[in-house]
Amino acid sequence: MNVREMRPNRLKRLLRMPDFALHLELHRLDCLGSHGLLDHYAFCKQKLEEYPEEELRPPRLLTGLDLIGMGFAPGPVFKEILRAVEDAQLGGEIADAAEARELVRMRWGDPKRPVG
């Protein structure tokens, strides 16, 4: 319902959901059976045509191994970090591994740098 207001990273995650085409078709049928308004449906179809596959599912800029190489200890924070990196990538805020590492250092610090 709020697809037009979604940030690019959230919209791209929605569009690449498993079985999204089925969900979209069910939405279309639901709209036709109730109010007949297909503007959200049309918006999603347009975005699916606009975004190439590599923009919806770009290769990862960092992996858990990269985070370990940066000095981070494996743990639950990896999921948070990798999600933030992917969100920034999908949103067009970062474009390569160097920018991804800088983003991680800015938000989570540099574990190799002594504190104090």
pLDDT tens digits, one per residue of 92-110: 999 999 999 999 999 999 8
pLDDT at residue 112 is higher than 80: no
104 and 71 fall within a common domain: yes
Nearest to 80 by CA among 59, 64, 98, 57: 64
Give the per-residue pLDDT at 2: 87
Tell me, what's the pLDDT at 54?
92
In a domain, 115, yes or no: no
Same domain, 7 and 52: yes
Q: Looking at the predicted structure, is the pLDDT value of residue 45 above 70?
A: yes
For the entire predicted model, the pTM comes to: 0.81
Q: Structurally, how many domains does the chain consist of?
A: 2
User: What does the pLDDT look like over 79-89, one tens digit per residue?
Assistant: 999 999 999 99
Q: CA-CA distances (angstroms) from residue 41 to 52, 75, 76? A: 18, 39, 36
Query: 7 with 47, same domain?
Result: yes
77 and 37 fall within a common domain? no
Query: Do 30 and 72 fall within a single domain?
Result: no
> Among 34, 56, 78, where does a domain finish?
56
pLDDT higher than threshold 60 for residue 42: yes
The domain of 68 spans 64-108
Residues 14 and 50 placed together within one structural domain of the fold? yes
